[in-house]
Structure 1
């Protein structure tokens, strides 16, 4: 067990230290504010404060973990043996920066509380993030920092014990539109036909009638093919179905359509099924609760996992709503159109509500790759060159490599064979 001396034990410090030591490094820790207890402790120990007590392992603290609320911060990114970091700690500190404050800044999504202009669907823009601006979005820096901290501690305490965790790969299939043409009803089918006609999309018109006449399969209906693919690999796979009323942003099949309901129940026989929330429900708890209830009733099991429409996480309100509607885990922490680690980590973490200064029970699972972030790549080789680097990094820190694909892109006509690419992802990265 590692003893940490600090001048004040706060919720922020406890939250961050437990994430770094217990969740990432598998190490037990305890805190003390009593100098005499620290001095007489014979095991591994360190100080986190403004000044060292003696010649111990010391990290000079920034003020961030001892403040409350949101303040303007002066952040200057520097290099620590090839890894970007910030919140410089000075010469006396064993580490050159305050690893706890920097980790808290990223994990809590502190920057998303600061004033910013949201994008067209109300999201925090990736270009506003410190990671994007300083070119470390593709690095799980919090995990890298933690393991470098472990190495430094082991130099001082060679007998320091910790439990090794294992690399994990997870695949998410996001289903916000289960079918392109089938199960649409007369009004929506006619509306789609005239829209295609007005835009001179004659190929789409042909595909629509071919599906409706039973001459070909709906291009988005690839669920059983995906299930067969998943059976080949011992990985965790999850299907997130939207189960909501039709709206400008939510255009899935009617929740009352028997074939759609049967599809969801069939998929649930083979894989984890949970809720891809509607656009409206991200700001309306009543709607969110109803969607959760209806999907749970359909598959006859509780719904605990969520994915938000457009990955539209607005802290803290969105996560508070998920907590209040009794979701336990969310898989929306990432950017739709950029690969990388939005919260700087590839390890699940609990949501910390800065306004309430408390760790909430919701577990956040950061994804590394969303398929729509890959559409502008020229070819598979370019994609795998990028993905291989991220995979090696996640595996190095024994993190979770989570990828999100949609049945739409997997069934669409693009310059790449997305289904083949998806299979290659599983084969390449599941171990």
Structure 2
């Protein structure tokens, strides 16, 4: 146990110290505002305040963790050896910046509460983030800082026994379109056939015809392959099913179709299943509730995990809605346009609500890479994509973090825009589990 002295114990201090020390470094922590208690403590201890009390491990505190609400935060970048950092301290401080305030700023997504321009889908963009602007989006700097901090702690308290966490990998699969052609309504099937014919998409016309009349299997039905890979590589896999009503952006098979319901039930037998809330559910609590209940009626189990369709979420409203519905885990924390670490960490963390200044029960699982980011946004080849995946995995492995990937059943189909991509998923699994 490490004892922390600070002049005021705030919810922000409790939250971020527990995240860095306990959840990341596996060191239990206690707090005190009494100097005599701090001085009398024999084990590892650090002071987090404006001036050191003596020769203890001292970090000069930034004001951020003693404030409430949102303020204009001035950020000046520095370097801790080769690692970018901010909120610089002074010579008396044991490390050159306030690791706790800087980590709090990044993990709570403080900057996403501030005024910003949204993209065409109403999302906060990577380009506006500090991590993108300062070139550390592809590094989990909060975890890197934590391990450098641990090194300093070990030098100061060499007799303390330190535990080490293990690297972890989670494969997540979004089901935006379970089937390309099968089990769609007659209107959609005929409309799609006419549209393909009008645009001279003859391959699509033939495939649609062959699938409809059971000459070929549906190209997006890659579920047997996904389950085989899950078993072969012993990978924790989560499937997020989109079951919202049909819209311009929600084009999955209707949740009333028996074949789709059977598919979901089958997946529940082999893997974890979560909700993929539809495009317009971002700020619509009633729609979100309806979809959660719909999935629960199919699986006959409570839905505890979620990932927003199109990664559309707005802080803090979307997360507040999830909490109200007793969703326990969210996997939306990442960017559509860029790979990397949106919250600058590869450690799952609890959502801290800056509106109410509380740590919530909603656990955020940040992902590092998505197949559509590599293909549609970054325009990479499968070979180039594998290189980026390897780099990100190595960053996570270096800090024994949790590497989370986001793929779609479609990207294993080798069909239309996924031509040549069908082997990337298995190659990714080999890298992630090696």
With normalisation by structure 2, the TM-score equals 0.97
How far is 1:165 from its partner?
A: 1.2
Aligned length: 431
CA distance in 2, matches of 1:141, 1:134: 12
Pair 416,400 (structure 1): closer, same or farther in 2 beyond 3 Å: farther
**281-290 vs 408-417, which deviates more?**
408-417
User: Equivalent of 1:429, from 424, 427, 432?
Assistant: 432
How do residues 21-420 of structure 1 correspond to structure 2 at under 5 angstroms? Answer: 21-375=21-375, 376-411=378-413, 412-414=415-417, 417-420=420-423
Deviations 1:59-78 (A, max 9, x none): 11111000011111111122
Deviations 1:261-319 (A, max 9, x none): 11111122111111111112222112211211121121121110001011112110010
CA distance in 2, matches of 1:98, 1:195: 58
CA distance in 2, matches of 1:80, 1:324: 40
- 8 Å CA contact retained: 1:337, 1:370: no
- 8 Å CA contact retained: 2:175, 2:239: yes
Deviations 1:301-348 (A, max 9, x none): 111000101111211001000000110000110012211000000000
- 8 Å CA contact retained: 2:174, 2:240: yes
Pair 300,211 (structure 1): closer, same or farther in 2 beyond 3 Å: same
Unaligned runs of 5+ in 1: none
CA distance in 1, matches of 2:383, 2:227: 26
Deviations 1:75-129 (A, max 9, x none): 1122111111111112221111110010000110001001001111111011000
**194-203 vs 265-274, which deviates more?**
194-203
Partner of residue 18, structure 2: 18
- 8 Å CA contact retained: 2:386, 2:424: no
- 8 Å CA contact retained: 2:346, 2:402: yes
How far is 1:205 from its partner?
A: 1.7
CA distance in 2, matches of 1:21, 1:277: 33
How far is 1:384 from its partner?
A: 2.8
With normalisation by structure 1, the TM-score equals 0.97
CA distance in 2, matches of 1:122, 1:108: 19
Give yes or no for the alignment of 1:6 onto 2:6: yes
CA distance in 2, matches of 1:372, 1:17: 35
CA distance in 2, matches of 1:74, 1:166: 36
CA distance in 2, matches of 1:415, 1:247: 23
- 8 Å CA contact retained: 1:3, 1:32: yes
How far is 1:142 from its partner?
A: 0.5
**295-304 vs 12-21, which deviates more?**
295-304
- 8 Å CA contact retained: 2:374, 2:380: no
CA distance in 2, matches of 1:373, 1:243: 23
CA RMSD of aligned residues (A): 1.3
How far is 1:378 from its partner?
A: 4.3
How far is 1:418 from its partner?
A: 2.3
CA distance in 1, matches of 2:73, 2:126: 19
CA distance in 2, matches of 1:262, 1:16: 43
The SS at the match of 2:365 is strand
Greater than 4 Å deviation, 4+ residue runs: none
The SS at the match of 2:91 is coil
CA distance in 2, matches of 1:255, 1:308: 17
**352-361 vs 76-85, which deviates more?**
76-85
- 8 Å CA contact retained: 1:377, 1:383: no
- 8 Å CA contact retained: 1:379, 1:416: no
The SS at the match of 2:332 is strand
- 8 Å CA contact retained: 2:239, 2:272: yes
CA distance in 2, matches of 1:386, 1:32: 44
The SS at the match of 1:332 is coil
- 8 Å CA contact retained: 2:382, 2:420: no
Unaligned runs of 5+ in 2: none
- 8 Å CA contact retained: 1:27, 1:161: no
How far is 1:416 from its partner?
A: 5.6
CA distance in 2, matches of 1:166, 1:339: 23
Deviations 1:11-40 (A, max 9, x none): 011100000000000001111111111111
CA distance in 2, matches of 1:346, 1:429: 14
Pair 414,244 (structure 1): closer, same or farther in 2 beyond 3 Å: closer
Deviations 1:133-156 (A, max 9, x none): 111001011011111111001101
**90-99 vs 104-113, which deviates more?**
90-99
